Structure 1
Amino acid sequence: MKLVILDRDGTINQDSADFVKTPEEWVPLPGALDAIARLNHAGWHVVIASNQSGLGRGLFDVSTLNAMHTKMHGLLTAAGGRVDAVFYCPHSPGDACRCRKPEPGLFEQIAERYGVDLKGVPAVGDAPRDLVAGAALGCEPHLVLTGKSAGLTMGKLPESYPKDTIMHTDLAAFADFLIARKEAAEEAA
């Protein structure tokens, strides 16, 4: 199974210091939905691993989170794409849970649900915690320079990221990279 694990806020949709709390506030980043559709068409299954501490902080409830994801799924369908599953941590930072990134719990849940070893599975995010969580289970870390990383410069990676992190300007550039790499591997075989 070809699997890609994406962060949500700042990777697929616009992030907010005040949290994305409603479906109206959930706005996709330019090109992100088309990038997911292109990954799907190239045979990749896409899942999301997302911290949603707004739940634990009481900023929104599960039905509102579901409404955000319903909007996302609808927009993805219109773009010809899909996300197979959304895994999220509902806890606030003080809860000391295992599922809040940078802890690897969400990635462990994904591995268990799909019955796969995550070694080499691309994990994409806009913050160190996204990539550290995936790298703990052997995921290949990919940083997009959107959301929390929008101020970084290509090629200049802070030490807080896994050392083998691959940088991309955005999710569309990541999709281009992954699809081109797959095609090159198929041609070489």
Structure 2
Amino acid sequence: MPSKRLIFLGFLSLCPLSACKTTQSSETPDAVRKRPEAEAIRGKPAPGETVTELDANGDGQTDVWEFRQKDVVGRKELDLNWDGRVDVTQFMDPQGAKVRELMDLDYDGKVDATYSYTEGKRTKGERDLDGDGRTDSWLYYENDTLVRKERDANHDGRVDYWEYWEGGQVDRIGEDLDGDGTVDQWTRNPTGKPATP
């Protein structure tokens, strides 16, 4: 069914391939149990909610689950890599615009990235890059365009790395070298020369 495959390719565009990790975690089971509990990517139907299962790629397996309240889709769950497990959960407002999106980037069943939307446009992202169950990367958007990234690179709970984006690329990078929460060094891209704060 070519038309079903084209529909599924549209769903794939929701998760850029470069952003989705395909490696399995190398942590021991004890280390995984000691991590802070991350939100599960898969939700349960709410009272009065109906679920519609769809096979978007035509392989005979469910790839999309739509959760409806009175014929209004409030949530979608998507299996983007066809392993039978949910990778992305989207929440919509009554008009069908996306308000929140959860992603399981390492396929462990837990949320690694959360994106917020206003009027259907992405405004903020929070990601757990090291898999410890805590947010360590924040992304900020204006008019659905990335303008700033912040990161807790040394995992002390405070931002120590900033990227400012212009025209789809990094304009400047700020780094906190002494751990006091303020930028100590600016680097301008693409020249790599230090910039004034």
After TM superposition, the score normalised by the length of structure 1 is 0.27
Max Rg structure: 2
**Larger proportion of helix:** 1
**Higher strand proportion:** 2
* TM-score after normalising by structure 2: 0.26
Q: Greater relative contact order (Cα 8 A, min sep 6): structure 1 or 2?
A: 1
